[in-house]
C-alpha cells in the first residue's frame, strides 16, 4: 500500500461524512437564503432575504448585542484565565482540590450552569436573599436585574464560567513548559514583576491562547441555549433571532432565517481566515 493510498483510506470516512453533513448543510442553507426552495415550490432566485436582513433594525440590534456579548466575554475570559493561571502556578496548601475545582467547569454542560445562574442571580435568587439579609436591599425588586437584562450580564457570566478554565488550563501548560528561567533572568537583569510579566510572559502566552480565544469567540457568537434562557426576547442575540424566523409558521420567513444563518457562518469564516492571515504574516516576519 503506498503512503498516498493509506492516507486516503484513513481520511475518507471522516471526509465523506463531513462533506455530506457540513458542506451539504452550508450549500442547502445558501440555496434557501436565495429563496430557492423547490421542496416547497419556491423556484425563485434572488437576494431579497439579504436586502431585508440589512435593512431590518431588529437584525442590526441583534448583531450589536451578539458582538457585545461575544467580544466582552472573550476578552474577559482571556484576562481572567491569565490572572488565575498565574495564581495557580504558586504552591499552596489545598492546591490539588482547588485546582480540581478550577478545572471542574470544563466538563459541565452549558445548560447546567445556565440553570445555576438563574437560581442565584435572579431577583428571587440566592444572591438577592443575601443582599436582603445584609440590609443592602429592602425588597427583591430593588435587586439589580442580572437575568434577561439589556446587557446580557447573566449570559456573559455563564460563558466566563465555562471558558476561563478552558483557556486557563492552556495558559498553565504554556507557563509550565516555559519554566521560571526566562522570568528569573529578566528579574535578575533588573526588570520588576510587572515588566517581567509584560515583556516576557505575556508575549509567550498570547500567541499560545489565540486559537482558544477564536474558539471561545465563535462559540459565543453562535450559541443558542444560553442566550435563549438568560436573554431578553427583544432584542435577542442573532442565533435566537435566526431560530425564531426558522420556526415561523409562515414559510416566507424561511429565506430570511437562512440568510441570517449564512451570515453567521460567513462572519465566523472571515474571522478565521483573517486570523490565519495574521498568523502567517507574523511567522513570516520572524
Partner 1 sequence: MESEEHRANPLHWVIYLGVVVSVVGPLVPQFVWPFVKSWFFPDLVPSAWSMRAWQYIGNPNSQVLEAVGNSLLIAVIVTCISVLLGVPAGKALGMYRFRGKGLVELFILAPSIIPGLAVTMGIHVIFIRLGLSDTLMGVVLVHLIPTIPYMTISMSGIFANYDPDFEEQAKSLGASTFKTFFIITLPAIFPGIITGAMFAFLISWGQYLLTVLIGGGRIITLPLLLFSFAGSRDNAFMSALSVIFLLPAILILFFTSKFLSGKSSGMGGFGNI
What distances in angstroms separate CA 242 from CA 54, 231, 246, 255, one per listed residue? 14, 15, 6, 10
Q: In the complex with partner 1, which residue's Cβ is closer, 128 or 235?
A: 128
Q: What is the DSSP secondary-structure string of 138-207?
A: SSGGGS---SS-TT-HHHHHHHHHHHHHHHHHHHHHHHHHH-SHHHHHHHHTT--HHHHIIIIIHHHHHH
Q: In the complex with partner 1, which residue's Cβ is closer, 10 or 185?
A: 10
- Residue 65 near residue 152 (C-beta atoms within 8 A): yes
Q: In angstroms, rounded to a whole number, what is the distance separating the alpha carbons of residues 87 and 268?
A: 33
Q: In the complex with partner 1, which residue's Cβ is closer, 183 or 235?
A: 183
CB 271 → partner 1: shortest distance, Å? 9
CB 72 → partner 1: shortest distance, Å? 17
CB 232 → partner 1: shortest distance, Å? 15
CB 46 → partner 1: shortest distance, Å? 18
Q: In the complex with partner 1, which residue's Cβ is closer, 135 or 286?
A: 135
Q: In angstroms, rounded to a whole number, what is the distance separating the alpha carbons of residues 249 and 9?
A: 45
CB 12 → partner 1: shortest distance, Å? 9
CB 116 → partner 1: shortest distance, Å? 4
Q: In the complex with partner 1, which residue's Cβ is closer, 119 or 185?
A: 119
CB 60 → partner 1: shortest distance, Å? 19
What distances in angstroms separate CA 69 from CA 54, 158, 165, 196, 217, one per listed residue? 20, 11, 19, 32, 9
CB 169 → partner 1: shortest distance, Å? 5
Q: In angstroms, rounded to a whole number, what is the distance separating the alpha carbons of residues 67 and 182?
A: 37
Residues with Cβ within 8 Å of residue 171, at least 6 apart in sequence: 81, 82, 85, 86, 205, 208, 209
What distances in angstroms separate CA 2 from CA 6, 8, 9, 16, 119, one per listed residue? 6, 10, 11, 21, 59
Residue with grid cell 442573532, as numbered in its chain: 238
Strand ranges inside 33-82, DSSP E: 36-37, 42-43
Amino acid at each position: 500500500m503506498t503512503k498516498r493510498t493509506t492516507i486516503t483510506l484513513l481520511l475518507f470516512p471522516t471526509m465523506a461524512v463531513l462533506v455530506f453533513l457540513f458542506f451539504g448543510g452550508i450549500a442547502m442553507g445558501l440555496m434557501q437564503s436565495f429563496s430557492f426552495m423547490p421542496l416547497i415550490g419556491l423556484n425563485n432566485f434572488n437576494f431579497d432575504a439579504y436586502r431585508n436582513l440589512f435593512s431590518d433594525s431588529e437584525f442590526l440590534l441583534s448583531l450589536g448585542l451578539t458582538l457585545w456579548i461575544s467580544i466582552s466575554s472573550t476578552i474577559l475570559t482571556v484576562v481572567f484565565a491569565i490572572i488565575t493561571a498565574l495564581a495557580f502556578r504558586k504552591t499552596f496548601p489545598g492546591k490539588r482540590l482547588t485546582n480540581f475545582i478550577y478545572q471542574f467547569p470544563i466538563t459541565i454542560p452549558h445548560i447546567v450552569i445556565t440553570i445555576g445562574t438563574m437560581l442565584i442571580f435572579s431577583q428571587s435568587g440566592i444572591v438577592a436573599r443575601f443582599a436582603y439579609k445584609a440590609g443592602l436591599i429592602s425588597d427583591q425588586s430593588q435587586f439589580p436585574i442580572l437575568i434577561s437584562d439589556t446587557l446580557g450580564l447573566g449570559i456573559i457570566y455563564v460563558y466566563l464560567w465555562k471558558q476561563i478554565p478552558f483557556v486557563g488550563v492552556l495558559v498553565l501548560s504554556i507557563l509550565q513548559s516555559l519554566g521560571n528561567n526566562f522570568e528569573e533572568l529578566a528579574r535578575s537583569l533588573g526588570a520588576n514583576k510587572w515588566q517581567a510579566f509584560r515583556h516576557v510572559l505575556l508575549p509567550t502566552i498570547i500567541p499560545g491562547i489565540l486559537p482558544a480565544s477564536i474558539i471561545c469567540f465563535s462559540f459565543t457568537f453562535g450559541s443558542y441555549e444560553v442566550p435563549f434562557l438568560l436573554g431578553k426576547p427583544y432584542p435577542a442575540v442573532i442565533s435566537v433571532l435566526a431560530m425564531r424566523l426558522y420556526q415561523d409558521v409562515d414559510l416566507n420567513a424561511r429565506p430570511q432565517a437562512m440568510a441570517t444563518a449564512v451570515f453567521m457562518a460567513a462572519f465566523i469564516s472571515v474571522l478565521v481566515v483573517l486570523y490565519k492571515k495574521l498568523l502567517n504574516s507574523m511567522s513570516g516576519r520572524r
